A and B are shown apart, each in its own frame.
Chain A
Amino acid sequence: MNKIVAMAAKDIHILFRDKLGFFFTVFFPLMMAIFFGAMFAGLSRGPANIPIALVDQDRTSASERFIERLGQASGLAVEQIPREEALEQVRRGRTAVLVTLTPGFGAALDNPFVTTPEVEMTVDPTQFAVAGMVRGVLLEAAGAELQDLMSDPARLGAANSQNSLFFESLPPSSARDDMLTFLDLSPRVSSLIDEMGLGAATGGNQGFFGPPLEIEQTEVQAERPGPTNSYATSFAQAMLWTLIGGSVSFSMSIAIERSRGTLMRLLVAPVTARHLLAAKGLACLGATLFTSSALITLGITVFDVRPTSYPLLVLALLCGSICFCGIMMALSVIGGTEQAAAGIGWGLSLPLSMLGGGMVPLFLMPEWMQRLANISPMKWTLMAYEGAIWRGFTLNEMLLPCAVLVAIGVIAFTLGARRLRWDTG
């Protein structure tokens, strides 16, 4: 063990002495974190469409019609999910608003004269601006519904005959009779207006009926708000880049040991190939863990990044480093010389990082690319880092990316270690 540690310590020592290695593992990722963090902090953030969660407990054709209308409204991205999940999302700050259509909503929408349709809105109070906007869109949609109803004599007639039956069942009075006369006439309101030549000038009829929708709002305090700032994203990316820089540098180090002849000395010393592999792995793990931890520590202390879970952050750091140490071993086999190792390392890392969201965030990519991104270890690394830094993953949610990372790491390390050339020439 002492020998393995000695070899690993030597490798780390050399990595930080090596200007190019230092550049790619420390300086470049740090510059990226600061540059992109500052750049996106300057731009107005927030996607054009506000994501809202919607739960349809009514499940009638009317409620479905309403949902469709919301979906078409500009400014909202409606996602229908189970209520429990939706509440959880609001609590985590991943969705600002949850809209629930309670049973009876559809009936009220089709016949708003007796009961005003009602929706429940659950909002994170810090997102009041978003909530206000969603409120506006909901009212607009309900208003449009009402307008449709009023201009459709068949639907209006259906609603009125339903209401007539109700009024007829009441004890006779002059008020009741007036009401029935009104209901009788009301489907003809729009045609009467047309007959008088007023047309669209009245701007619709909802003025008769008060607000078209009642919104009952409750607040749910989000436990974890979204990314505290743009540095939360850029530091996660920087941590990915330090892993890439470290793994490429270490993959070169075996080739360098061969070309400088020190591999010969190592092989002549009383250490086994297993020791050497373990030392390379340990050095890579130690160095990347150190640099990625240092980066996020800097992010936390200087750039106000607030990880949502420190234990999960530690887990993510560890799994990311394990993955890239495996990749390092595989790279050092593919590239026999230091130039080849560097060339292949960067040649593979750059496209895979781009694909995995290391440069442009994944959600900006088309669907098929996002699916293709699953083959990129960089995607899983970012997912784990971001999960702990700002996405507020639970341990369960963290298990998938971490398992993928460890699996990639172990497989790549084993394949690499098996095929490594131990000759000195």
Chain B
Amino acid sequence: MLVFDHVSKSFGDLRAVDDLSFEVEAGEVFGLLGPNGAGKTTAINMAVGLLEPDEGVVRFADEAFDRNPRDAENRRSLGLAPQSIALYEQIGGADNLRFFGRLHGLRGSDLEERVVACLDFADLTDVEKKVVSKYSGGMKRRLNLAVAIIHDPELVLLDEPTVGVDPQSRNAIFERVEQLRDAGKQVVYTTHYMEEAQRLCDRVAIIDRGRLMALDTVPALIGAHGGPGNLVVRTGEGESRHETTDPLGTLAELQARQAVDHFQYLPPDLETVFLNLTGRALRD
């Protein structure tokens, strides 16, 4: 279980992560949602031990152990897919997997089994021999993700794994992430796309300027911070928009006054949650 306990990290005067606390459970996809520069990557880097927090602690804890992410032991149980693609472009996809597998102590038939499984996971079996520099952006993304799980880690950290990927590949990645969750992994998923967080994440931490603004399941976040939804109706007089928490009641009311030709209900979403929490839109 990954634990952030009042963790802060500054770069000079800039507080990139400010008093961040959360715990990630097994079998859940934990979302870190925030705009560019919110501190997501900084938090991930502390989770994997690449950065040391200035204040607070990051732990990898269980009933049996309680480790610092800098422990080599701990590194066997975590897998990172960095935000920018980190692969050896001059060698093939399978060779990349094989190399990182070996680094994690895999060898022989165990290694080959994992390589085959991960190629399949990333849907790259046909191009396993092709050098990575000849892969498309989406293929590289999927391999970037596959390399993170070659050693079958407990904790998988995916830093914006869908950047620069077409909708089809993006859906493929979503499916992979769900597979990981179903296999009982802890998945930390950072994104600035609220649709992704909404679709994938069991719980979402909304962060802005390094600070945790809210942390809960998506419905709970919307319930608490989403405010009213919008009912859009079209009548003979044109289109109108009505804020409401009771769309059916509002619709009945409107229909009593005049005939409604068409209506659409827009429930509150994470976008509105973010707007309500920060006063700013998630995407600028």
**Residues on A facing B (Cβ under 8 Å):** 2-3, 6-7, 10, 13-14, 17-18, 260-262, 264-272, 424
Report yes or no: B90 in contact with A6, Cβ–Cβ below 8 A.
no
Report yes or no: A272 in contact with B72, Cβ–Cβ below 8 A.
yes
CA distance A17 to B91 in the complex (A): 8
Report yes or no: A270 in contact with B104, Cβ–Cβ below 8 A.
yes
> Most chain-A CB neighbours within 10 Å: which of B49, B85, B103, B107?
B103
Cβ of B17 within 8 Å of any chain A Cβ, yes or no, is no
For residue A248, give the distance in angstroms from its CB to the closest CB of chain B: 17
Cβ of B26 within 8 Å of any chain A Cβ, yes or no, is no
Report yes or no: A17 in contact with B103, Cβ–Cβ below 8 A.
no
Contacts of B91 in A (CB 8 A): 10, 13-14, 17
Report yes or no: B75 in contact with A261, Cβ–Cβ below 8 A.
no
Cβ of B50 within 8 Å of any chain A Cβ, yes or no, is yes
Find A269's partner among B84, B89, B104 (CB 8 Å cutoff): B104
Contacts of A3 in B (CB 8 A): 102-103, 105
Contacts of B80 in A (CB 8 A): 264-265, 268
Report yes or no: B72 in contact with A260, Cβ–Cβ below 8 A.
no
A-B pairs with lowest CB-CB distance, top 4: A261-B86, A6-B102, A17-B90, A270-B75
Q: List 26 A-B contacts (CB under 8 A).
A: A6-B99, A6-B102, A6-B103, A10-B91, A10-B95, A14-B88, A17-B91, A260-B86, A260-B88, A261-B82, A261-B84, A261-B86, A264-B80, A264-B86, A265-B80, A265-B82, A265-B147, A269-B75, A269-B104, A270-B75, A270-B76, A270-B104, A270-B105, A271-B72, A271-B103, A272-B72
Report yes or no: A262 in contact with B72, Cβ–Cβ below 8 A.
no
CA distance A3 to B50 in the complex (A): 20
Cβ of B163 within 8 Å of any chain A Cβ, yes or no, is no
CA distance A269 to B104 in the complex (A): 6
CA distance A267 to B45 in the complex (A): 11
Other contacts beyond A13-B91, A265-B100: 20, CB < 8 A? A2-B102, A2-B107, A6-B103, A7-B99, A10-B91, A10-B95, A13-B95, A260-B86, A261-B84, A261-B85, A262-B86, A262-B88, A264-B86, A265-B86, A265-B147, A268-B50, A269-B75, A269-B104, A270-B103, A271-B72
Contacts of B107 in A (CB 8 A): 2
A260's nearest neighbour on chain B, judged by CB, is: B86
> Most chain-A CB neighbours within 10 Å: which of B78, B80, B87, B99?
B99
CA distance A14 to B103 in the complex (A): 16
> Most chain-B CB neighbours within 10 Å: which of A14, A266, A269, A424?
A269
Q: Bits for B65-84, please: 1 = Cβ < 8 Å to A, else 0.
A: 00000001101101010101
Q: Bits for B17-50, please: 1 = Cβ < 8 Å to A, else 0.
A: 0000000000000000000000000000000111
For residue A205, give the distance in angstroms from its CB to the closest CB of chain B: 83
Q: How many residues on B have C-beta within 8 angstroms of the other chain's C-beta atoms?
A: 28
Q: Is the interface of A mostly helix, strand, loop or mixed?
A: helix
B148's nearest neighbour on chain A, judged by CB, is: A265
Cβ of B61 within 8 Å of any chain A Cβ, yes or no, is no
Report yes or no: A266 in contact with B131, Cβ–Cβ below 8 A.
no
For residue A165, give the distance in angstroms from its CB to the closest CB of chain B: 93
Contacts of B87 in A (CB 8 A): 260, 262
B131's nearest neighbour on chain A, judged by CB, is: A17
Contacts of B78 in A (CB 8 A): 268
Contacts of A13 in B (CB 8 A): 90-91, 95
Contacts of A264 in B (CB 8 A): 50, 80, 82, 86
Contacts of A17 in B (CB 8 A): 90-91, 131
For residue A108, give the distance in angstroms from its CB to the closest CB of chain B: 77
For residue B37, give the distance in angstroms from its CB to the closest CB of chain A: 15
> Most chain-B CB neighbours within 10 Å: which of A2, A17, A262, A267?
A262
> Most chain-B CB neighbours within 10 Å: which of A6, A13, A17?
A6
B147's nearest neighbour on chain A, judged by CB, is: A265
CA distance A270 to B79 in the complex (A): 11
> Most chain-A CB neighbours within 10 Å: which of B49, B50, B72, B107?
B50
CA distance A424 to B50 in the complex (A): 8
Find A10's partner among B72, B82, B88, B104 (CB 8 Å cutoff): B88
Contacts of B147 in A (CB 8 A): 265
Report yes or no: A7 in contact with B82, Cβ–Cβ below 8 A.
no
Contacts of B102 in A (CB 8 A): 2-3, 6
For residue A358, give the distance in angstroms from its CB to the closest CB of chain B: 29
CA distance A10 to B91 in the complex (A): 9
- B residues 85-140 near A (Cβ < 8 Å) are 85-91, 95, 99-100, 102-105, 107, 131
Contacts of B48 in A (CB 8 A): 268
